[in-house]
Amino acid sequence: MWTTIRPFRREPRFETPTAGNSDAMLSSIARGAAAGAAGTTALHAATYLDMTLRGRPSSSTPQQTIDKISEAAGTEIPGTTEQKESRKSGLGALLGMVTGTTVGVCYGALHGLGWRPPMLVGGVVATVAAMVGSSAPMTVLGVTDPRTWSTSDWLSDALPHLAYGLVTAATFAMTENNHRRRGFRGRRRRANRAATMRALAI
């Protein structure tokens, strides 16, 4: 008796999405947002760990970015000097959270469109996207210039963002596996119910 051996095929890097699959796209975007939030938590943890180990102060670039945005918009942050600094600190932190979540949303949207990278590749892509998303506005506004950064500056920026990218990709992969398992169980239950109804109708 001959046994047919099927050749091993790798999962494609980019799959063609099925038409009318808006629910799947929304689910992918929502899971991407959750993964981005988890990645942002990892970024903050890595940043605070670096501050603890090296004894360095926190970066003032988020507050400077808020200052530049306020100037460009022709508005002034209200309050006393102390209140202004507190508000700028809070707005800078919120801006970072928005950036991290937005990158996660884009990651999920690409997945919904059929992008299927290996997890490490996805982590690197998310890392680069988060670095660009956070540094590009600061560079455009004149807050910082990456061309003048030292090796220590690059490490302080790259390592927390690497933690962000890897955690974002890993979290999304785990939610995707759970989503697929739930979908499989749901299809199996529907098939069992349909088979039962057919049996009762006979």
Average pLDDT over residues 119-128: 97
* Residues 6+ positions from 58 with CB-CB distance below 8 Å: 51
Look at residue 120 and tell me whether its pLDDT is greater than 80: yes
Asked whether the beta carbons of 43 and 163 are under 8 A apart, the reply is: yes
Provide the mean pLDDT of the chain. 85
Amino acid 1: pLDDT: 45
Question: Residue 31 gets which letter from DSSP?
Answer: H
Q: Which residue has the tokens 């119910």?
A: 193
CA distance 51 to 48: 5
Q: Among 169, 155, 130, which Cα is nearest to 49's?
A: 155
Segment 8-63, tens digit of pLDDT: 444 545 555 554 578 889 999 999 999 999 999 999 999 999 999 989 888 899 99
Mean pLDDT for the stretch of residues 133-143: 94
pLDDT computed for residue 8 by the predictor = 43
Q: What is the pLDDT of residue 188?
A: 63
Cα 202 to Cα 198: distance, rounded to the nearest angstrom? 6
User: Dihedrals φ, ψ of 14, to 5°?
Assistant: -140, 120
182 alpha-carbon distance from chain centroid: 23
Q: What percent of the chain has pLDDT over 70?
A: 78
Per-residue pLDDT at 58? 87
The DSSP H or E segment spanning 35 is helix 22-54
**pTM (global) more than 0.85:** no
Alpha-carbon span 170 to 40, nearest angstrom: 13
Rounded Cα distance between 152 and 156, Å, is 6
Amino acid 46: pLDDT: 96
First to last CA, the chain: 38
The 10 Å Cβ neighbour count of residue 8 is: 5
pLDDT of residue 13: 58
Contacts of 95 (CB under 8 A, 6+ apart): 62, 65, 66
Is residue 125 pLDDT above 60, yes or no? yes
What is the average per-residue pLDDT within 73-90?
92
DSSP-assigned letter for residue 9: -
On the question of pLDDT at 138 being above 90, the answer is yes
Compute and round to an integer the Cα radius of gyration of the chain. 23
